[in-house]
Chain A
Amino acid sequence: MFDPEILQDFLTECGELLEQLDSELVALESTPQDPELLNKVFRALHTIKGSGSFLALTNLVGIAHAAEEALNAARRGDVVIDRSVMDLLLEAVDLLRKQFVELEAGTPLTAPRQELVDALTRVGAGDKVAAASAAGGADPTAPAQSASLAEAASPVAAEGDEFTLPESKADLLEFMVADLDETLARLDAQIDALRSETERDTISGEISHICESLARSVEFFEFSPMSALVSVLEISSERLGQLDDDCLDQVTPRLKAVVELLRRQTEGLRHRRLLPCDASELGGRVVDLVLGHAIDEAAHLGKDADIDTVLRIDGVVMAWSGAGSGDASDPVEDELGLQTSMIEEKAPAMESAAGVGGSAEPGPEGSGGPTRIEQTIRVEVSRLESLLNLVGELVLQKNRVGAMARHIVREDLVTQDLREAVAQSSSDLDRVTSDIQVAVMRTRMQSLDKLFGKYPRLIRDLSRKTDKKINLVIEGGDTEVDKSVIEELGDPLVHLLRNSADHGVEPPADRAAAGKSETGTIKLKASQQGDHVLVQIIDDGRGLDRDKLIAKAIEKGLISEDEGASMSDRDAHRLIFLPGFSTAAEVSDLSGRGVGMDVVRTNIEKLKGAIDLESAPGMGTTLSIRIPLTVAIMPAMMVGVGSELYAVPLTNILEIVRPEADLVSTINGRRVMRLRDTVLPLVSMSELFEQAQDNREVEQFAVVVELNEQRAGLMVSRLIGQQEIVIKPLDGILADSGAVSGATVRDDGGVSLIVDIARVIRTAQEVKAAMAA
Chain B
Amino acid sequence: MESASATLDQLTTGDTGAERDQLQLVTFEVGKEEFAIDILSVQEINRMMDLTRVPQSPPEVEGVINLRGRIIPVIDLRKRFNMDRGERDQHSRIVVVEVKGRVLGFIVDRVHEVLRIDRKIVDAPPSMVSSVDSDFIAGVGKLPDRLLILLDLDKLFASEVLGAADIAMQRAS
Interface flag for B52 (CB, 8 Å): yes
Pair B64/A734 contact, Cβ less than 8 Å: yes
Pair A729/B55 contact, Cβ less than 8 Å: no
Pair B55/A737 contact, Cβ less than 8 Å: yes
Q: Out of A389, A392, A738, which one reaches B55, CB within 8 Å?
A: A738
**From B73, which residue of chain A is reached at the shortest CB distance?**
A731
Interface string of B97-124 (1 = CB under 8 A from A): 0000010100000000000000000000
**From B63, which residue of chain A is reached at the shortest CB distance?**
A751
Interface flag for A752 (CB, 8 Å): yes
With A731-B102, A733-B163 already in contact, the answer to whether A740 and B55 are too (CB < 8 A) is yes
Q: How far is the CA of A736 from the CA of B53 in the complex (A)?
A: 14
Identify which of residues 718-760 in chain A touch chain B, using a CB-to-CB cut-off of 8 Å. 728-734, 736-740, 743, 745, 749-753
Interface flag for B69 (CB, 8 Å): yes
With A731-B104, A734-B73 already in contact, the answer to whether A753 and B66 are too (CB < 8 A) is no
**From B163, which residue of chain A is reached at the shortest CB distance?**
A733
Q: How far is the CA of A734 from the CA of B55 in the complex (A)?
A: 9
Interface flag for B171 (CB, 8 Å): no
Interface flag for B139 (CB, 8 Å): no
Nearest Cβ on chain A to B54's Cβ, whole angstroms: 5
Residues in A with CB closer than 8 Å to B56 are 690, 736-738
Residues in A with CB closer than 8 Å to B68 are 393
Pair B66/A733 contact, Cβ less than 8 Å: no
Q: How far is the CA of A117 from the CA of B66 in the complex (A)?
A: 59
Residues in A with CB closer than 8 Å to B57 are 733-734, 737-738
With A738-B55, A750-B50 already in contact, the answer to whether A731 and B66 are too (CB < 8 A) is no
Nearest Cβ on chain A to B173's Cβ, whole angstroms: 13
Interface of A is mostly: mixed
Identify which of residues 686-710 in chain A touch chain B, using a CB-to-CB cut-off of 8 Å. 688-690
Identify which of residues 29-77 in chain B touch chain A, using a CB-to-CB cut-off of 8 Å. 50, 52-58, 61, 64-66, 68-73
**Which residue, A690, A733, A745, A751, has most C-beta atoms of chain B within 10 A?**
A733
Interface flag for B162 (CB, 8 Å): yes
**Which residue, B61, B66, B163, has most C-beta atoms of chain A within 10 A?**
B66
Nearest Cβ on chain A to B27's Cβ, whole angstroms: 26
Pair A389/B52 contact, Cβ less than 8 Å: no
Q: How far is the CA of A743 from the CA of B55 in the complex (A)?
A: 12
Interface flag for B82 (CB, 8 Å): no
Nearest Cβ on chain B to A47's Cβ, whole angstroms: 37
**From A728, which residue of chain B is reached at the shortest CB distance?**
B71
**From A396, which residue of chain B is reached at the shortest CB distance?**
B69
Residues in B with CB closer than 8 Å to A389 are 69
Interface flag for A475 (CB, 8 Å): no
Q: Out of A688, A689, A731, which one reaches B72, CB within 8 Å?
A: A731
Identify which of residues 199-230 in chain A touch chain B, using a CB-to-CB cut-off of 8 Å. none
Size category, A interface: 20 to 34
Q: How far is the CA of A749 from the CA of B64 in the complex (A)?
A: 12
Nearest Cβ on chain B to A490's Cβ, whole angstroms: 26
Q: How far is the CA of A750 from the CA of B50 in the complex (A)?
A: 8
Nearest Cβ on chain B to A394's Cβ, whole angstroms: 10
Interface flag for B130 (CB, 8 Å): no
Interface flag for B159 (CB, 8 Å): yes
Pair B54/A740 contact, Cβ less than 8 Å: yes
Q: Out of B65, B69, B70, B102, which one reaches A732, CB within 8 Å?
A: B102
Q: How far is the CA of A738 from the CA of B55 in the complex (A)?
A: 5
Q: How far is the CA of A733 from the CA of B61 in the complex (A)?
A: 9
Residues in B with CB closer than 8 Å to A162 are none
Residues in A with CB closer than 8 Å to B52 are 644, 743, 750-753
With A730-B64, A731-B104, A751-B64 already in contact, the answer to whether A745 and B71 are too (CB < 8 A) is yes
Pair B55/A690 contact, Cβ less than 8 Å: yes
Q: How far is the CA of A737 from the CA of B63 in the complex (A)?
A: 11
Nearest Cβ on chain B to A631's Cβ, whole angstroms: 16
Nearest Cβ on chain A to B56's Cβ, whole angstroms: 4
Pair A730/B71 contact, Cβ less than 8 Å: yes
Pair B73/A733 contact, Cβ less than 8 Å: yes
Residues in A with CB closer than 8 Å to B54 are 730, 734, 737-738, 740, 753
Q: Out of A736, A738, A739, A745, which one reaches B69, CB within 8 Å?
A: A745
Q: How far is the CA of A736 from the CA of B164 in the complex (A)?
A: 13
Nearest Cβ on chain B to A97's Cβ, whole angstroms: 31
With A745-B66, A751-B65, A751-B71 already in contact, the answer to whether A733 and B55 are too (CB < 8 A) is no
Pair B53/A644 contact, Cβ less than 8 Å: yes
Q: How far is the CA of A505 from the CA of B18 in the complex (A)?
A: 70
Identify which of residues 78-98 in chain B touch chain A, using a CB-to-CB cut-off of 8 Å. none
Residues in B with CB closer than 8 Å to A753 are 52, 54-55
Q: How far is the CA of A151 from the CA of B101 in the complex (A)?
A: 50
Residues in B with CB closer than 8 Å to A731 are 64, 71-73, 102, 104
Q: How far is the CA of A751 from the CA of B51 in the complex (A)?
A: 8
Pair A750/B66 contact, Cβ less than 8 Å: yes
**From A690, which residue of chain B is reached at the shortest CB distance?**
B55
Nearest Cβ on chain A to B59's Cβ, whole angstroms: 11
Pair A393/B71 contact, Cβ less than 8 Å: no
Identify which of residues 105-160 in chain B touch chain A, using a CB-to-CB cut-off of 8 Å. 159
Q: How far is the CA of A752 from the CA of B56 in the complex (A)?
A: 15
Nearest Cβ on chain B to A455's Cβ, whole angstroms: 36
Residues in A with CB closer than 8 Å to B66 are 745, 749-751
Pair A728/B70 contact, Cβ less than 8 Å: yes
Residues in B with CB closer than 8 Å to A751 are 52, 64-66, 71
Residues in B with CB closer than 8 Å to A690 are 55-56
Q: How far is the CA of A498 from the CA of B54 in the complex (A)?
A: 39
Q: How far is the CA of A640 from the CA of B69 in the complex (A)?
A: 22
**From A744, which residue of chain B is reached at the shortest CB distance?**
B71
Pair B58/A733 contact, Cβ less than 8 Å: yes
Q: Out of B64, B102, B163, which one reaches A743, CB within 8 Å?
A: B64
Q: How far is the CA of A680 from the CA of B163 in the complex (A)?
A: 36
Q: How far is the CA of A729 from the CA of B71 in the complex (A)?
A: 7
**From B74, which residue of chain A is reached at the shortest CB distance?**
A731
Q: How far is the CA of A393 from the CA of B66 in the complex (A)?
A: 11
Q: How far is the CA of A737 from the CA of B65 in the complex (A)?
A: 16
**From A688, which residue of chain B is reached at the shortest CB distance?**
B55
Q: Out of A728, A733, A745, A749, which one reaches B162, CB within 8 Å?
A: A733
Residues in A with CB closer than 8 Å to B102 are 731-732
Residues in B with CB closer than 8 Å to A732 are 102, 159
Interface string of A238-266 (1 = CB under 8 A from B): 00000000000000000000000000000
**From A732, which residue of chain B is reached at the shortest CB distance?**
B159
**From A393, which residue of chain B is reached at the shortest CB distance?**
B69
Residues in B with CB closer than 8 Å to A729 are 71
Q: How far is the CA of A749 from the CA of B72 in the complex (A)?
A: 14
Nearest Cβ on chain B to A636's Cβ, whole angstroms: 15
**From A727, which residue of chain B is reached at the shortest CB distance?**
B71
Q: How far is the CA of A690 from the CA of B55 in the complex (A)?
A: 6
Residues in A with CB closer than 8 Å to B65 are 751
Pair B55/A689 contact, Cβ less than 8 Å: yes
Pair A743/B53 contact, Cβ less than 8 Å: no
Nearest Cβ on chain A to B50's Cβ, whole angstroms: 6
Nearest Cβ on chain B to A514's Cβ, whole angstroms: 51
Nearest Cβ on chain B to A282's Cβ, whole angstroms: 59
Residues in B with CB closer than 8 Å to A739 are 55
Residues in A with CB closer than 8 Å to B159 are 732-733
Q: How far is the CA of A731 from the CA of B104 in the complex (A)?
A: 9
Interface string of A472-513 (1 = CB under 8 A from B): 000000000000000000000000000000000000000000
Q: How far is the CA of A123 from the CA of B147 in the complex (A)?
A: 80
Q: How far is the CA of A743 from the CA of B51 in the complex (A)?
A: 13
Q: How far is the CA of A728 from the CA of B67 in the complex (A)?
A: 12
Known: A389-B69, A737-B56. 10 other contacts (CB 8 A): A644-B53, A690-B55, A730-B71, A732-B102, A733-B61, A733-B73, A736-B163, A737-B55, A738-B54, A751-B52
* 7 tightest Cβ-Cβ pairs between the two chains A and B: A738-B55, A738-B56, A751-B52, A689-B55, A728-B71, A737-B57, A743-B71
Give 22 A-B contacts (CB < 8 Å), ordered by A residue: A392-B69, A396-B69, A728-B70, A730-B54, A730-B71, A731-B71, A731-B102, A732-B102, A733-B61, A734-B54, A734-B57, A734-B58, A734-B61, A734-B73, A736-B163, A737-B55, A737-B56, A737-B57, A740-B55, A743-B71, A745-B71, A753-B54
